[in-house]
Structure 1
Amino acid sequence: MKTASLINNIQYHETRPTIQVLLDTENGKEIRIAFKKGQVMKEHKTPFAIVVEIFEGSIDFGVNGKVHNLNRGDLISLSGDVPHDLTAVKDSIVRLSLNKGDSAKRVKDVVKDS
């Protein structure tokens, strides 16, 4: 058994979102992304399907050029190879569920390049 918390030990970076792997199991990875208002993850895609939950705050989630405003409690799922981007409308906590074959490093690289 493994446990984690979406609300404990949150760290915000001043200029870019903060990525933290909360759980890495035999089935997948759960990642917390902490955004300050205005921070962006530029357009990117993943080879695997993902699920994104807005745990706190509000995110403009762009998919193929169309923006979806997602708020606390909203979920969105995407198939692999779908271009998407995120912009924090206000301070936000996002939970990202990754396929086991995907890499947290890939997500961290997207943030570094944003």
Structure 2
Amino acid sequence: MNTASLVDAITYQENKPTVTVLLKTNTTKEIRIVMKEGQSMKEHKAPYPIVIELFEGSIDFGVNGEKQLLKKGDLITLDENVPHDLTCVSDCIIRLSLSNFDSVERVNNVNN
């Protein structure tokens, strides 16, 4: 058994979202993304299905060019290779469930 916290040791960066691996299982990586109001992640695709939970705050979540406001407690799933982007509306904590076949480096490099 492993444990982690979505709210402990949070660091907001001034210039880009902060991506932290919290847990790894046999099939997934549980990742925390923290974003300050106004920060964004440009359009990108994940090579495997993902699950996103908005734990705190709100984001404009774009899928294929259509925006949807996600707020605290909302969940969304995407199949592989679906173009999406995020813009933080209010400081947020996002939980991302990512396949172990995918890489955290890919998430970190979305805005690089």
Name the residue aligned to 1:72.
72
Paired residue type of 2:110: V
Instruction: Tell me how far 1:100 sits from its aligned partner.
Output: 1.4
TM-score by length of 1: 0.96
Instruction: Tell me how far 1:15 sits from its aligned partner.
Output: 1.1
Instruction: Tell me how far 1:25 sits from its aligned partner.
Output: 1.7
Q: Partners of 2:70 and 2:88 in 1: how far apart?
A: 10
Paired residue type of 1:6: L
Instruction: Tell me how far 1:74 sits from its aligned partner.
Output: 0.2
Gaps of 5+ in 1: none
TM-score by length of 2: 0.98
How many residues align? The count is: 112
Deviations 1:46-105 (A, max 9, x none): 110000000000000000000010000000000000000000001000000001111111
Q: What is the DSSP-based 3-state SS (H/G/I as helix, E as strand, rest coil) of the residue aligned with 1:89? A: strand
Name the residue aligned to 2:88.
88
Across the aligned residues of Structure 1 and Structure 2, the Cα RMSD in angstroms comes to 0.7
Name the residue aligned to 1:39.
39
State whether structure 2 residue 19 is matched by structure 1 residue 19.
yes
Q: 4+ residue runs of structure 1 moved beyond 4 angstroms?
A: none
- Identity rate, percent: 59
Paired residue type of 2:25: T
Deviations 1:13-37 (A, max 9, x none): 0011000000112121000000000
Q: Partners of 1:64 and 1:99 in 2: how far apart?
A: 21
